[in-house]
Structure 1
Amino acid sequence: MNPIDELRAARPAHLGDRPADPRTRAAELSRAMAQPRPARRRRRPARPVWSLGLAAAAAVTAVAVVVATNGTASTPRAPDRPASTRQAVTLSAREVLLAAAARAERQPEGKGEYWHTVSVRRTLYAAAKGGYRVLDQRQDEGWTPGATGADQKQWGSMRSLGARPATEEDRRAWERAGSPASIEVTVPGKPRPMVLKTSPGRAMTGHSRLPDGDKVFWLGRNVSVKDLRGLPRDPDQLKKRLLSWKGRADDVPMQGDAWLFVISTGLIMDMPVTPEVRGAAFRMLAELDDVRVIQNVTDAEGRTGTAVAINEPTLADGVAEHRLIIDEATGSALASEYVAVKPRGMQTGLEPGTMWSSTAVIKAGWSDDQPE
């Protein structure tokens, strides 16, 4: 069974064939990759695709999982602007987004046979024993063909970067537990713990044909590269188009602004839209009433940017802050992050302000280099 088929097999049965939104990929993929697998012949690195959010392609969908701790370890906090700069904030979210739009529109589009993306995903879990938390870290790489047809394939590679204690206090608790190289973490609704390794793993590679011959992404419905290239460049028309595809995210009904923020974050971060459409997405977000700005934010890769954020509902009437971190110099997205605001359901036990899921964009652009 190749890795793409393994991911499909790991898809929770209760989700059926309904696609999930881009933010739901990390945890279920972590769960799928953490299970023991039979020995396989050696392969050369490539990447399982995150194009369709993998969800609409009937690969794996995910529910972002954060587990309540069984101990007293401190909680990782969401990076915020330094206290000394908090009084110096002068830009509104609208101003930040409009500036990002102008810079994004000026970026060269590039050319190539494949839309090539590399990202690093981190998810917070609680150890089943020992009272500490760990961050599971995985690198995803994907090649989505710009052309369509019966012979076209999407390629992907997933590689565990290893789990590590989330904070220094967690590290001390992990060391008191014997510094285990394999860490059992609890997952709500699952009868057995999931096992995470502290050492990096080998890349798991695979490919699959495009669903319906051309569908590769999800924007409320399955869409093709052609659909993305044809999105309106006018922000009002783009908003109308995206709202017409409105659905649910993580089984949570989304209101208009939250829906637009969720969908637009995926579009801005890692989809092959034109620079003009990416600029239109920024301009559309600039008109949302509920979006706010957080300056001088450091993402999980150590890069500093400016975040625009909105509160989103989660399961069990919880609330999470969704942050899109932007490099203001280029108008490029650096990362998408989720911070617990009103921890409920799978986030029960977290302190408000805890960073529990992040996706950092390492690379996104057109390339002629093919997976091997």
Structure 2
Amino acid sequence: MNDLQTLRAALASDEPSQDVVDRSRQRLQNRMRGGRASQRRTGWLIAGAGLTAAAAAVAIAVMPAAPVDGPPVRTVSGQEILLAAATAAERSPEGSGTYWHVNVTEVDGAAASSGYEYWIKPDGRLWMRGAKTGGKVTPLKGTSATPFSLVAADLTLEQLRALPTDPDALKAWIAEALERSDARTSAGTLTASDREQAGFQSLISLVSTLPATPEVRATAFRLIADYPGVQNLGTVPGGHGLLLPEGERLVVDPATGRVNGTSIFVTMDGAMYHVTNPAGAKISAEWTDTLPG
């Protein structure tokens, strides 16, 4: 049984058998009768039929549920959600198109409060729409030879698609790229702790905003699952809410292997943006042939 099948089995809510239903109903009737059928008062039952019905309703509402035969319900862990998403991502079609389109929409209740949207062509041409462009799709001047940002490392599409699929090799590749990077923090060069955090955020980028291959996305999901402290926050719109070790939040759909919500994302210039809304932001990333006017 693979990760996705295991998760489906854990989340499945099988209906009880008819035998279980009949025995549970018999136990309920016995409790309502005091446990012994011989002590029933037929005249009282007939005269007080309405009262009996009301008493039955109260009994059903307040009495503890009868035990249901079968295995106990098991809570699915955050790690299992990620591993199931890895299996689904590995099997998902890559998709194709002229532009890689990323749309991040911060929400406040039902109303969008802010958004960040961009389109990238493999040749490095870029378009964006956001507060800085007045909500209009605007081409950016010039082209970028390395338009895809993996936190502190900028890549071409070919380099991104050539990333290793072995977990140890991918982790080592990201670490080496960060070591060579000229990225800086407000305090100066990246420390070992900064590089560790950037490496983790790079994995988040691979599963959320970058056109990585299905195999690389699957590997990144599994590496995130290896970190201790990943928590399943339960079912939310778009999938399952996950709390990650550094406080980041993701919404992951384990059936499709897609990330549909996030509290952080990498902008086109490689900067890490932290979403102010505690609930995070909706996110979509896919290939498209359409560039809105």
TM-score range normalised by the length of the shorter chain? 0.5 to 0.7
Structure 2, unaligned runs of 5 or more: 1-71, 265-275
Among candidates 206, 219, 226, match of residue 280 of structure 1: 219
Among candidates 281, 284, 287, match of residue 359 of structure 1: 281
**Matches of 1:275 and 1:297, distance apart in 2:** 24
* 1:237 and 2:169 matched: yes
Name the residue aligned to 2:249.
Answer: 323
- 1:270 Cα deviation after fit: 1.3
- 1:304 Cα deviation after fit: 4.7
**Matches of 1:236 and 1:210, distance apart in 2:** 37
Q: Which has the higher strand share?
A: 1
**Contact 2:146–2:154 (CA<8 Å) still a contact in 1?**
no
Name the residue aligned to 1:130.
Answer: none
**Contact 1:258–1:310 (CA<8 Å) still a contact in 2?**
no
**Matches of 2:74 and 2:136, distance apart in 1:** 44
* Structure 2 SS opposite 1:245: helix
Aligned in 2, Cα 1:330/1:249: closer, same or farther, shift over 3 Å? farther
- 1:104 Cα deviation after fit: 0.8
- 1:232 Cα deviation after fit: 1.0
* 1:103 and 2:37 matched: no
**Matches of 1:255 and 1:157, distance apart in 2:** 30
* 1:370 and 2:280 matched: no
**1:279-309 deviation digits (Å, cap 9, x = unpaired):** 1101111222x241223243xxxx1522333
Q: Which has the higher helix share?
A: 2
**Matches of 1:248 and 1:291, distance apart in 2:** 28
Name the residue aligned to 1:310.
Answer: 244
List aligned pairs for 1:104-143, cutoff 5 A: 104-122=89-107, 137-143=113-119
List aligned pairs for 1:25-174, cutoff 5 A: 90-122=75-107, 137-146=113-122, 148=123, 152-158=124-130
**Matches of 2:210 and 2:104, distance apart in 1:** 13
Name the residue aligned to 1:292.
Answer: 230
**Contact 1:336–1:360 (CA<8 Å) still a contact in 2?**
yes
**Contact 1:260–1:285 (CA<8 Å) still a contact in 2?**
no
**Matches of 2:185 and 2:207, distance apart in 1:** 18
Aligned in 2, Cα 1:219/1:259: closer, same or farther, shift over 3 Å? closer
Aligned in 2, Cα 1:261/1:250: closer, same or farther, shift over 3 Å? farther
**1:228-277 deviation digits (Å, cap 9, x = unpaired):** 11111122211111122336677685366643331211221111111111
**Matches of 1:228 and 1:285, distance apart in 2:** 18
User: TM (normalized to structure 1)?
Assistant: 0.48
List aligned pairs for 1:11-22, cutoff 5 A: none
**Matches of 1:243 and 1:122, distance apart in 2:** 33
**Matches of 1:230 and 1:366, distance apart in 2:** 18
**1:179-236 deviation digits (Å, cap 9, x = unpaired):** xxxxxxxxxxxxxxxxxxxxxx951332224655333323322222222111111222
Aligned in 2, Cα 1:249/1:265: closer, same or farther, shift over 3 Å? farther
**1:160-188 deviation digits (Å, cap 9, x = unpaired):** 9xxxxxxxxxxxxxxxxxxxxxxxxxxxx
**Matches of 1:331 and 1:212, distance apart in 2:** 29
**Contact 1:261–1:310 (CA<8 Å) still a contact in 2?**
no
Aligned in 2, Cα 1:270/1:212: closer, same or farther, shift over 3 Å? closer
- 1:89 Cα deviation after fit: 5.7
- 1:101 Cα deviation after fit: 0.3
Among candidates 258, 270, 273, match of residue 209 of structure 2: 270
**Contact 1:309–1:324 (CA<8 Å) still a contact in 2?**
yes
**Contact 1:210–1:216 (CA<8 Å) still a contact in 2?**
no
* Structure 2 SS opposite 1:214: coil
**Matches of 1:357 and 1:90, distance apart in 2:** 22
* Structure 2 SS opposite 1:204: coil
- 1:366 Cα deviation after fit: 1.0
State the aligned residue count: 203
**Contact 2:145–2:156 (CA<8 Å) still a contact in 1?**
no
Q: CA RMSD in A?
A: 3.3
* Structure 2 SS opposite 1:265: helix
**Matches of 2:86 and 2:130, distance apart in 1:** 31
